[in-house]
Amino acid sequence: MLRRRLVTIPALFLAWSLLVALFPLGLVLTFVIGLVRRRRFVEPRMFVFVLVYTTLELVGLARAFAIGLSSSGPGRSARYVALQAWWASTLFSVARAMLGLRLRVEGSDAVAHGPLILALRHASLADSLLPAVLVTRPHGIALRYVLKKELLVDPCLDVVGHRLPNHFVDRARPTEADLRAIAALATDLGRRDGTILYPEGTRFTPSKKARALAELAARGSAQLESAQALRHTLPPRTGGLFAMIDAAPDVDVVFGSHVGFEGFATFADLLSGEMVGRELRVVFWRVPAAEIPRERSEREAWLARQWRRVDDIVAETSSVEREQSAAA
């Protein structure tokens, strides 16, 4: 951990210093590129966004350092949660402003109180901001995250994430210890607590879906048929979610589907300009704990039905957007 931070934190400061020093020249160059490419000036927008991002990273690290020095006990965790929510909400607000994004949220009452287990669709790095923006910031719910270890290259997420009850998992080699740690996140949840994980484990692509289907077929899984019907999402992995449900059998599960973040999947996607002016739609719904089956096969069928709804929301929204685009 220390070795990683000795690389990532100086690299972050160096990148920020270069961006600040080159800001006037960089802004002019990206503006000229925007004139030539005619992609809604996404280049200068993203140049400014990267500068803001690195600045927020440094501010976040400074605030985390101050919290560590000035507070102790339960109050320290609350301050770290507030810092996390501030960082994510600020970054998301800047992205909305820079790209002219519109946000539509449906079913926000489903995340208005804990305890809850939130299972969210994964389409890009940007959707990792949603829980803090739509759950923690407005409703004061402290979420415990299951995140991939690759995100530890983000210094602020690395430092603050390890000072809160989160778990960073190696997606390539998940172990029984990982499942025990994930289950532990769901224990002792209060009315202002919750957990969050992304059951797909990675972003959707046709090739990833093909590999997932091949794995299910090789295991002779009963999930294969329902997984084949999915059009825009990957079949959900049951290990982490079911471990949480078993650890907290009286806690409701909230599902979240969203559309519009696909353009945040890679940096090349952002530079295409397709994200500019886009509407982001997020839909939540809550399943009471009493309605969640306890028997394994019944629970798998229940999860398949819920995830089909996640997939259907993506399909119906995408269909409406295509019709509106064609009409325009």
**Range in 36-50, 53-67, 179-193, 246-260 with the lowest mean pLDDT:** 36-50
Position 321 confidence tier, pLDDT thresholds 50, 70, 90:
low
pLDDT digits (tens, 9 = 90+) for 217-234: 998 888 898 999 999 999
More confident residue, 17 or 327: 17
**pLDDT > 90? residue 137:** yes
Q: Which residues contact 208 (CB under 8 A, 6 or more apart)?
A: 202, 234
Strand partners, 195: 117, 144
The arithmetic mean of pLDDT across residues 299-323, rounded, is 85
Asked if pLDDT for residue 326 goes beyond 50, the answer is no
The whole-number pLDDT of residue 323 equals: 46
pTM, to two decimals:
0.91
DSSP characters over 98-127: HHT-EEEEE-GGGGSSSSEEEEE---SGGG
Average pLDDT over residues 268-281: 81
pLDDT at 89 over 70: yes
pLDDT of residue 219: 87
Cα 155 from chain centroid? 17
In this prediction, residue 262 carries a pLDDT of 81
Q: What pLDDT is attached to residue 125? A: 80
Mean pLDDT of 9-31: 96
**What is the tens place of the pLDDT at every residue in 148-173?**
898 899 999 999 999 999 999 987 77
Q: CA-to-CA distance for 328 and 322, rounded, in angstroms?
A: 10
- Residue 217's Cβ-side half-sphere holds a number of Cα atoms within 13 Å equal to 7
**Polymer length in residues for the chain:** 328
3-state secondary structure (DSSP) of residue 169: strand
